Chains A and B, each alone.
Chain A
Amino acid sequence: AQTVTQSQPEMSVQEAETVTLSCTYDTSENNYYLFWYKQPPSRQMILVIRQEAYKQQNATENRFSVNFQKAAKSFSLKISDSQLGDTAMYFCAFMKLYNNNDMRFGAGTRLTVKP
């Protein structure tokens, strides 16, 4: 079974600064997808960034980027130029390619951006 671990229950960062959220996972699969989702107080799950395991290049989406280390099974999220609107819960998620393609989530990191 796949497990996803986020070891930082809470983090804070000053507005305009950079913060990195950690995520590790355990799997015997070779091909899979990894995601970071954001959940603001509205409860809506919002996809932030995604990474295909077969791609060595780290994904980037504007101020968001990942550091994907496949051998170490690590998938951290870096938020640059943090904004107040980035305040939310962030969930790391793993999805295998086969057998229902269900998505498994880490425990989440509550990020607070301070003015």
Chain B
Amino acid sequence: SAVISQKPSRDICQRGTSLTIQCQVDSQVTMMFWYRQQPGQSLTLIATANQGSEATYESGFVIDKFPISRPNLTFSTLTVSNMSPEDSSIYLCSARVPGGALAYGYTFGSGTRLTVV
């Protein structure tokens, strides 16, 4: 199955600054997904990123706050902009298993633990 390298694994940031999280997939994938997991909570979908088109954001998430890039079929970034303590969460990227049916689900990066102080 595909391997997703996500970095940084963790960071502590000052409020008002921005952090860019990177995900590199070892295979070409059409769609990538970005999730937020607040402490002790479930995963909430932020947006879906297709290569060559604008990301599609879920209700409650906007591009100005969470801009996403998808420059090619193996890479994506999520930026958390103008951070506040409420943005402290784990952020995960995921992608469909290359060559696999949807029934195989998605593979995930190892997550970025963000703390905003």
Contact between chains at B103 and A52 (CB < 8 Å): yes
A57-69 CB contact bits vs B (8 Å, 1 = yes)? 0000000000000
User: Given A43-B113, A107-B42, are A35 and B105 also a contact pair (CB < 8 Å)?
Assistant: yes
A107 contacts which chain B residues (CB < 8 A)? 41-42
A43 contacts which chain B residues (CB < 8 A)? 90, 92, 110-111, 113
B56 at the interface (CB under 8 A from A): yes
Closest to B106 in A: A103
B33 at the interface (CB under 8 A from A): yes
Q: What is the CA–CA distance of A33 and B43 in the complex, to the nearest angstrom?
A: 17
Contact between chains at A100 and B102 (CB < 8 Å): no
Q: What is the CA–CA distance of A14 and B83 in the complex, to the nearest angstrom?
A: 43
Q: What is the CA–CA distance of A93 and B102 in the complex, to the nearest angstrom?
A: 13
Distance (Å) between the CB of A61 and the closest chain B CB?
A: 12
B13 at the interface (CB under 8 A from A): no
A42 at the interface (CB under 8 A from B): yes
B106 contacts which chain A residues (CB < 8 A)? 103
A43-B92, A102-B45 known; 12 new pairs, CB 8 Å cut-off, are A33-B105, A35-B105, A43-B111, A44-B110, A47-B105, A91-B42, A101-B96, A102-B48, A103-B45, A104-B45, A108-B41, A108-B42
Q: Choose one: A44, A95, A104; the contact of B105 (CB below 8 Å).
A: A95
Which range holds the interface residue count of chain A?
20 to 34
Q: What is the CA–CA distance of A95 and B113 in the complex, to the nearest angstrom?
A: 25
B56 contacts which chain A residues (CB < 8 A)? 100
B19 at the interface (CB under 8 A from A): no
Q: Choose one: B44, B94, B110; the contact of A42 (CB below 8 Å).
A: B110
Q: What is the CA–CA distance of A67 and B43 in the complex, to the nearest angstrom?
A: 23
5 pairs of A and B residues whose beta carbons are closest in the complex: A45-B108, A43-B111, A105-B43, A107-B42, A105-B42
Distance (Å) between the CB of A6 and the closest chain B CB?
A: 8
Distance (Å) between the CB of A38 and the closest chain B CB?
A: 11
Contact between chains at A33 and B111 (CB < 8 Å): no
Q: What is the CA–CA distance of A111 and B96 in the complex, to the nearest angstrom?
A: 27
Contact between chains at B103 and A106 (CB < 8 Å): no
